[in-house]
């Protein structure tokens, strides 16, 4: 532990969690002012009445008052605000497919079978991602090209008769243009979104690690969280596949070659589609750039010039396919078969991926063999399969819902693809099961509430009673509810994914074998139509409201905040990854403060911000000398690092990596947690139990090893400090002088208002948080000499 000198000061660098946080709230002040940053990633400090940076409150430690600077990093503008960012929520299925890549199980070192399984699984994920892109574009073409242009605007059709006169419908290229322009606009929007990237400020790039093999073992959390250099190539292949699919639709689809000159266009479009799909399938991790690997030649062949030529050729094919339609048929024969083939291929691919993921997860079990169940990855490392399955079902459902909503909006009497009816049945059954599950859950919650209100307590409540020194029914109810959510969240996700996937398989069987549905399924289809229409309409309305109101945009930003943390790896057409900007800029700001030899920097992450500061701290520890590393501290509050992120992303944030981080920081990592917090729990300890009025547990020791810990100590604020975790009282026993007071159970809010906050800051800064003794007070404030 470093001794505080006369020039010592502490800098708190706070990072907020999801949904964005007002700068004033982040720095616990009535006003805040920017002191650094580029306006997207903002460094703010408390401000006085003249909006000048103001010093933070003094930090009491080691018998003295130490100057403190409070700063906050505001990154909410990267995921919310404006129409463009609000529209990112529409790409949620794509983002889920990309997240599935980072959920793959780790590859044990030197295991050849695991390495090949990882290669195949990553390739299958990328193939599923490009099929999702093709399905989205094809479903958009079903609406604009088939339902509107071909059927609704056909000469003599009463649909939109007052808007589009009959003579205009017979003009050459009018209907193909009306049908293809929205689809091409959609492809351009996808291209524009995929080109957006958050760039770190100059000087911060050095803390970004170079590309590393995916799913490999890491020593510190998030060190393999890097951008893929193949993203531009992958983006071009996705767009080429989309353009080729659009060009094939007016020509009869990929399964029926037209006659005459159109057959040349059809063959060229099909060839480009094959090139795009094979390129996605063969393109893998950054190790392929090594001269000994065949991927080097693929990357050289798909350079910038080649990509531009291919995309220009795809656009030209779409224009030629439109020009070849004179007149446009009253119904496009290729849309039904194309949509159904893409959906069937996606389902088969997801099933194959799930099957191949089983042996990969079994091989990776040696990484967590012997751990308690609460520390093992979700679904045994298999969680990536249901994630991509949900992405596929949501992607198909959004398209069907959009088609149904547009059909009802314009009053079109045309037919939608036959495969849409089983999809409506699937969503109708899912809605019915959801209502039943919600009713059962409500009954269970009601029974549990009655039991809790009866005043009976169990051994599981011993920690609550020890923390509060008495029985608090409100606190016990909150502890039990929060513990259940943390323990069973992944079970709920798995159950929902299982129901949707079983329904998708039933839909596939019904379509392949042309089975007739019984009459009792008609109400389910009606409910499914209503659900999909409401889903599409509600999502579009939410995006519209978010574009108009920044507050609504922040609420919608929860969807993108979670998904857009991860770099583009499996799917390139997702919102930009903000972690590639936040982590290096946090590291750069910390390094800037550490140039002053008397400064100690404590990185503080609230909720999801704890993941960002953990990655930033890991990069700092990898790049700094030992004297500077000893002046870095870490505080996590309401964190999901152990109970969620370590279990959902075992290759990126494995538990041993957190242990290494704890060993590097020693006692300079402190974690504030509440048992009543449903989103944040203990990070460095687990298996807590009360024995003879002592709180015991297992967790990370100061040297990073795992084992039983000494009994928890009671802090002056009443918190129990077990290892590196500070378990706070909730509700607090009463107001504290000089602290903002909020009565009641706080759960996931107001961590800085707890008096234990300053004590954790002092310990993370390497200071002794003990209050001065009477002797020290006499030295600091000597008594005046007696008067004569």
Q: Which DSSP string corresponds to 178-198?
A: HHHHHHHHHHHHHHHHHH--P
Q: Is the pLDDT of residue 683 over 70?
A: yes
Q: Are 722 and 695 in contact (CB under 8 A)?
A: yes
| Cis upstream peptide for 244 (omega within 30°) | no
Alpha helices in 549-683 (DSSP H): 550-563, 579-594, 609-623, 626-629, 646-648, 655-665
Q: What is the pLDDT of residue 540?
A: 62
What pLDDT, on a 0 to 100 scale, did the predictor assign at position 788?
38
Determine the 3-state secondary structure of 68 from DSSP: strand
Query: What confidence category does residue 461 fall into, taking pLDDT thresholds of 50, 70 and 90?
Result: confident
SS3 content of the chain, % helix, strand, coil (to 5): 55, 10, 35
Q: How many CA atoms lie within 13 A of 195 on its CB side?
A: 8
Residue 521 scores a pLDDT above 90: no
3-12, 416-425, 455-464, 772-781, range with the lowest pLDDT: 772-781
Q: What is the average pLDDT across 471-490? A: 81
Instruction: Assess whether pLDDT exceeds 90 at residue 399.
Output: no
Helix (H) or strand (E) holding 34: strand 32-37
**Given this model, what pLDDT does residue 527 score?**
73
For the chain, helix (H) and strand (E) counts, in that order, are 24, 15
Pairing of strands 68-74, 42-46: antiparallel
**What percent of the chain is modeled with pLDDT above 90?**
31
Distance CA 139, CA 242 (A): 11
The span from the CA of 91 to the CA of 81, in Å, is 16
Alpha-carbon gap, residue 557 to 106, rounded angstroms = 30
Dist. CA 224–CA 474, nearest whole Å: 43
Provide the pLDDT confidence category of residue 43 given band limits of 50, 70 and 90: very high
Q: Provide the mean pLDDT of the chain.
A: 82
Alpha helix (H) ranges present in 56-173?
A: 83-87, 92-102, 112-141, 166-169
pLDDT at 681 over 80: yes
Map tokens 């996808």 to a residue: 190
Q: Label residue 470 exposed, middle or buried (CB < 10 Å: 0-12, 13-18, 19+).
A: exposed
- The greatest distance separating any two alpha carbons of the chain, rounded to the nearest whole angstrom, comes to 120
Cα–Cα distance measured from residue 708 to residue 700, given in angstroms and rounded to the nearest whole number: 9
User: What is the rounded distance in angstroms from the CA atom of residue 710 to the CA atom of residue 725?
Assistant: 12
Tell me what pLDDT residue 536 has. 62
Query: Would you say 269 and 244 are in contact if contact means Cβ atoms under 8 Å apart?
Result: yes
pTM of the model: 0.88
Q: Are 628 and 594 in contact (CB under 8 A)?
A: yes
Is the pLDDT at 624 greater than 90? The verdict is: no
Q: How confident is the model at residue 261 (pLDDT cuts 50, 70, 90)?
A: confident
DSSP at 255: T
Strands 706-708 and 713-714: unpaired
CA distance 121 to 104: 8
Q: Where are the alpha helices (DSSP H) in 411-469?
A: 420-453, 462-468
**Which range is least confidently modeled, 92-96, 406-410, 675-679?**
406-410
For residue 743, the Cα-to-chain-centroid distance in whole angstroms is 32
Please tell me the distance from the alpha carbon of residue 623 to that of residue 625, in angstroms, as a whole number. 7
Question: What local confidence, expressed as pLDDT, does residue 759 receive?
Answer: 92
3-state class (DSSP) for residue 1: coil
- The whole-angstrom separation of Cα 404 and Cα 482 is 39
Residue with tokens 């269970």, as numbered in its chain: 444
pLDDT of residue 543: 59
- d(Cα 378, Cα 18) in Å, to the nearest integer? 22
CA distance 331 to 171: 18
pLDDT of 218 reads 77
How far apart are the C-alpha atoms of 572 and 129, rounded to whole Å?
Answer: 9
Q: What is the predicted pLDDT for the residue at 86?
A: 63
pLDDT 10s digits, 220-239:
888 888 877 888 999 999 99
């Amino acid at each position: 532990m470093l001794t505080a000198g006369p020039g010592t000061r502490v800098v708190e660098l706070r990072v907020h969690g999801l949904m964005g946080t007002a700068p004033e709230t982040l720095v616990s002040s009535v006003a805040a002012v920017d002191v650094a940053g580029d306006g997207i990633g903002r460094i703010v400090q408390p401000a006085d009445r003249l909006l000048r940076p103001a010093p933070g409150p003094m930090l009491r430690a080691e018998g003295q008052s130490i100057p403190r600077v409070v700063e906050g990093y505001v990154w909410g503008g990267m995921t919310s605000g404006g129409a463009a960012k609000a529209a990112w929520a529409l790409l949620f299925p794509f983002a889920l497919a990309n997240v599935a890549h980072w959920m793959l199980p780790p590859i044990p070192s030197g295991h050849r079978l695991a390495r090949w399984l990882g290669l195949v699984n990553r390739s299958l994920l990328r193939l599923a991602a490009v099929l999702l892109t093709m399905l989205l574009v094809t479903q958009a073409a079903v609406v604009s090209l088939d339902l509107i242009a071909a059927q609704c605007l056909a000469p003599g059709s009463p649909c939109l008769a007052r808007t589009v006169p009959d003579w205009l419908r017979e003009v050459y290229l009018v209907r193909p243009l009306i049908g293809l322009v929205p689809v091409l606009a959609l492809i351009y929007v996808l291209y524009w979104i995929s080109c957006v990237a958050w760039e770190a400020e100059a000087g911060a790039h050095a803390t970004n690690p170079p590309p590393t093999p995916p799913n490999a073992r890491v020593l510190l959390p998030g060190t393999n969280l890097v951008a893929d250099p193949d993203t531009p190539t992958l983006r071009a292949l996705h767009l080429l596949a989309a353009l080729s699919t659009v060009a094939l639709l007016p020509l009869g689809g990929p399964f029926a070659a037209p006659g005459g000159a159109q057959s040349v266009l059809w063959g060229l479009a099909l060839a480009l589609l094959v090139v795009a799909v094979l390129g996605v399938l063969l393109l893998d991790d950054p190790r392929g750039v090594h001269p000994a690997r065949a991927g080097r030649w693929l990357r050289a062949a798909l350079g910038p010039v080649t990509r531009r030529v291919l995309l220009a050729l795809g656009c030209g094919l779409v224009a030629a396919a439109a020009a070849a339609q004179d007149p446009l048929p009253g119904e496009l024969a290729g849309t039904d078969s194309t949509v159904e083939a893409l959906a069937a291929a996606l389902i088969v691919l997801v099933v194959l991926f799930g099957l191949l993921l089983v042996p990969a997860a079994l091989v990776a079990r040696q990484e967590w063999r012997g751990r308690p169940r609460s520390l093992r990855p979700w679904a045994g490392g298999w969680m990536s399969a249901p994630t991509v399955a949900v992405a596929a079902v949501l992607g198909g459902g959004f398209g069907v819902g959009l088609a149904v909503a547009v059909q009802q909006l314009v009053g079109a009497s045309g037919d939608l693809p036959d495969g849409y009816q089983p999809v409506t049945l699937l969503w109708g059954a899912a809605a019915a099961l959801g209502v039943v599950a919600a009713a059962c859950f409500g009954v269970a919650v009601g029974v549990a509430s009655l039991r809790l209100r009866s005043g009976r307590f169990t051994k599981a409540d011993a920690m609550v009673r020890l923390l509060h020194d008495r029985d608090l029914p409100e606190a016990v109810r909150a502890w039990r509810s929060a513990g259940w959510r943390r323990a069973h969240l992944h079970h709920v996700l798995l159950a929902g994914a299982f129901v949707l996937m079983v329904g998708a398989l039933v839909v596939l069987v019904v379509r392949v074998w042309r089975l007739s549905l019984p009459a009792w399924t008609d109400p389910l289809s009606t409910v499914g139509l209503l659900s999909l229409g409401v889903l599409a309409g509600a999502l579009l309305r939410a995006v519209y409201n978010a574009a108009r109101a920044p507050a609504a945009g922040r609420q919608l930003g929860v969807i993108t905040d979670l998904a857009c943390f991860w770099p583009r790896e499996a799917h390139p057409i997702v919102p930009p990854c903000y972690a590639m900007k936040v982590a290096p800029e946090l590291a750069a700001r910390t390094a800037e403060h550490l140039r002053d030899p008397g400064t100690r920097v404590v990185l503080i992450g609230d909720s999801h911000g704890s993941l960002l500061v953990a990655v930033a701290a890991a990069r700092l520890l990898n790049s700094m000398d030992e004297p500077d590393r000893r002046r870095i501290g870490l505080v996590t509050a309401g964190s999901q690092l152990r109970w969620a992120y370590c279990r959902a992303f075992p290759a990126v944030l494995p538990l041993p990596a957190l242990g290494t981080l704890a060993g590097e920081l020693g006692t300079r990592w402190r974690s504030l947690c509440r048992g009543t917090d449903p989103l944040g729990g203990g990070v460095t300890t687990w298996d807590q139990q009360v024995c003879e009025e002592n709180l015991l547990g297992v967790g990370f020791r100061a040297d990073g090893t795992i084992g039983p810990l000494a009994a928890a100590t009671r802090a002056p604020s009443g918190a129990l400090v077990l290892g590196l975790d500070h378990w706070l009282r909730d509700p607090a026993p009463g107001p504290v002088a000089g602290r903002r007071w909020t009565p009641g159970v706080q759960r996931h809010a107001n961590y800085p208002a707890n008096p234990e906050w300053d004590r954790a800051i002092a310990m993370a800064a390497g200071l002794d948080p003990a209050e001065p003794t009477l002797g020290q007070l006499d030295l600091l404030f000597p008594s005046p000499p007696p008067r004569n």
